[in-house]
Amino acid sequence: MILATGRGFTLLEVLVALAILAIVMAAVNQALNSSVQALSHVQQQTYASQVAQNVMEKSRAGILRTSTGQETFGPQEWYWRLEGHSQSLPGLDGPVGQIEWVRVSVYSDADRETKVAGLMGTGP
């Protein structure tokens, strides 16, 4: 008769180790999934911010003919709206006392409901 020497793992120990490994792998998978989603969101905001900057520069250069438009940048189409208004500064008269404000809003949908980025600055 051969006696067991106790140099191996029991089936129960192997199953417990596999259960622990599965839990750890699920947590790692969840963390990676969250990171990928965050990266995608940051990438969208970066593209939309660049579109806003482009529209602002075109506005300052005087080459825009409309107050709304669309632009392809990166992997998708972006929709923008340009708004401007004047503001008088108290105590200053004439053209020196006027500031032209320009606001660019960039949207990911044609209905311009999902705003992704915005930029505000002074006009030309």
pLDDT of residue 80: 96
12-122 is classed in which CATH architecture?
2-Layer Sandwich (3.30)
Binned at pLDDT 50, 70 and 90, residue 124 comes out as: low
Q: What are the φ and ψ backbone dihedral angles of 35, each rounded to 5 degrees?
A: -65, -40
Closest CA to 50 of 83, 82, 72: 72
Domain ranges in the chain? 12-122
2 has pLDDT over 60: no
- Give residue for tokens 């923008």: 80
Contacts 24+ apart (CB under 8 A), 98-105: 100/124, 102/56, 102/59, 102/60, 104/52, 104/55, 104/56, 104/59, 104/80, 105/52, 105/80, 105/81
Q: What is the pLDDT confidence band of residue 3, given thresholds at 50, 70 and 90?
A: low
Residue among 124, 85, 89, 117 at smallest CA distance from 101: 85
What does the pLDDT look like over 61-82, one tens digit per residue? 888 888 999 999 988 999 999 9
Question: pLDDT tens for residues 82-121?
Answer: 998 888 777 777 666 778 889 999 999 999 999 999 999 8
Tokens in use for 122? 């002074």
